[in-house]
Amino acid sequence: MILYATKRVLLTLPIMLGVTIVCFALVHLAPGDPLISVLPPDASQSIKEQMMALYGFDRPYHEQFLRWLWRVLQGDIGTSIRTGRPVSTEISKAVGNTLMLAALATCIGFLLGTLFGFVAGYFRDTWIDKTASALSVFGVSVPHYWLGMVLVIVFAATLGWLPPTGAGPGGSEDWKWDWVHFKYLILPAVTMSVIPMGIIARTVRALVAEILSQEFVVGLRAKGLSEVGIFGHVVKNAAPTALAVMGIQLGYLLGGSILIETVFAWPGTGLLLNDAIFQRDLPLLQGTILVLAMFFVVLNLAVDVMQTMLDPRIQRA
């Protein structure tokens, strides 16, 4: 087990290196002048060149990459061109906000998704199954920025129950865990939870239906287990696959959603990325993508290791 975990951790190193290369390449291959947001349109050629040299943009790409990688390894992912603050400060604030949002969306999405999935799988081909399945198809297929706007129209504009956008009356800087602030979290979190809910519900339904049709369930019944006891077996059999799907979904949620955070003006990583793209803030963009990509790598690692703990058939050595 420990051997497997170590091996798996070592395997992530080349993946991480690949991630940094892709991340660097993507940002630099994209069209656009990185200094457009800090220089006035009529800046002279010599000032432009001076600035390019200051940020190191005048050097060859491989050198830029190696310098950047070296700094990243030392924990320095650069300075935002636009704000002049370290990228890590910008990201950590945004990550905190996105985590809050993602945590709530995860709770809602995973709970409801698992619940709908189990109910639909157990009552296959009844109206309960059809209702739950319809809900999950809706969840997967509805464009969530549209759903976000509809929710804003209904619950904020028309009913006035919840605030439409933002992260609290005083902005994200003075967030408090009370109802006044929490209200701002509800609409974006609900909107965000809909896709993972749908995907998890469909996965779990298929899993449960498949497991229930297997002979060993008859075997469990034959040895005298109650339906509750059998349910435990169904859960453990469904867990590895369900967990893998949840891991991927959690990755998406933690990465933040550009669309949802933009619709709700939620100051998370999605909004940060959005701003970085529009303002050609290369260090910020690069840093944010890198951090989000690392999230995925670490999360997949965790899911892999957990799966082997749950399913003995997955090779351990």
Partner 1 sequence: MADTVLDIRNLRVTFTGGAKHVRAVDGVDLAVAPGEVVALLGESGSGKSVTLRSVLRLHPEAKTRIAGSIVAAGVDVMALTGAALADFRGKTVSMIFQEPMLALDPVYSLGQQITESIRKHEPAVSAEAARRRAFELFEQVRIPSPERRLDAYPHEMSGGMRQRAMIALALACNPKVLLADEPTTALDATVQVQILLLLRELQRNLNLSMIFVTHDIGVGVEVADRIAVMYAGRIVEIGAVRDVIRTPRHPYTIGLLSTRAQGGRLSGNRLTTISGSPPDLANLPPGCAFAPRCASASAACREAAPAPVDLGAGHVVRCIHTAITA
CB of 136 to partner 1, least distance (A): 24
Binding segment (CB under 8 A) for partner 1, from list 31-39, 232-240, 246-254, 263-271:
232-240
| Number of residues binding to partner 1, judged by CB under 8 A | 21
Long-range contact list for 68-71, CB < 8 A, 24+ apart? 68/24, 68/286, 69/20, 69/24
User: ∠ at Cα 271 (294, 304), nearest 5°?
Assistant: 25
Judged by CB under 8 A, which of 41, 158, 223, 317 binds partner 1? 223
The answer to the question of residue 312 lying near partner 1 (CB under 8 A) is yes
CA distance 287 to 274: 13
DSSP 157: I
CA distance 117 to 123: 10
CB 291 within 8 A of CB 228: no
Residue 92: count other Cβ atoms within 10 Å of its Cβ.
11
293: Cβ contacts below 8 Å, ≥ 6 apart:
19, 22, 23
| SS3 at position 222 | helix
CB of 120 to partner 1, least distance (A): 17
> Is 277 exposed, middle or buried (CB count within 10 Å of its CB: 0-12, 13-18, 19+)?
middle
- Site track for partner 1 across 169-208, x = CB under 8 A: ----------------------------------------
Judged by CB under 8 A, which of 141, 222, 315, 317 binds partner 1? 222
Judged by CB under 8 A, which of 237, 257, 269, 279 binds partner 1? 237
| Residue 28 or 124 with smaller CB distance to partner 1 | 124
Judged by CB under 8 A, which of 225, 248, 277, 302 binds partner 1? 225
CA atoms within 13 A on the CB side of 270: 23
Q: Quick one: tokens of 258? A: 């550009």
Q: What are the phi and psi torsion angles at 314 (to 5°)?
A: -75, 130
Report the chain's C-alpha Rg in angstroms: 24
Judged by CB under 8 A, which of 220, 250, 254, 290 binds partner 1? 220
Judged by CB under 8 A, which of 233, 259, 262, 301 binds partner 1? 233
Judged by CB under 8 A, which of 11, 216, 278, 316 binds partner 1? 216
Binding segment (CB under 8 A) for partner 1, from list 94-102, 217-225, 243-251, 267-275:
217-225
The answer to the question of residue 224 lying near partner 1 (CB under 8 A) is yes
CB of 316 to partner 1, least distance (A): 11
The answer to the question of residue 317 lying near partner 1 (CB under 8 A) is no
The answer to the question of residue 213 lying near partner 1 (CB under 8 A) is no
Judged by CB under 8 A, which of 48, 71, 236, 316 binds partner 1? 236
| Residue 47 or 218 with smaller CB distance to partner 1 | 218
Helices 227-254 and 179-212, packing angle to 10 deg: 130
Would the CA dihedral through 202, 205, 210, 211 be positive or negative?
positive
CB 75 within 8 A of CB 294: no
CB of 225 to partner 1, least distance (A): 6
CB of 312 to partner 1, least distance (A): 4
The answer to the question of residue 311 lying near partner 1 (CB under 8 A) is yes
| Residue 130 or 236 with smaller CB distance to partner 1 | 236
| SS3 at position 86 | strand
Site residues (vs partner 1, CB under 8 A): 214-216, 218-226, 229, 233, 236-237, 240, 310-313
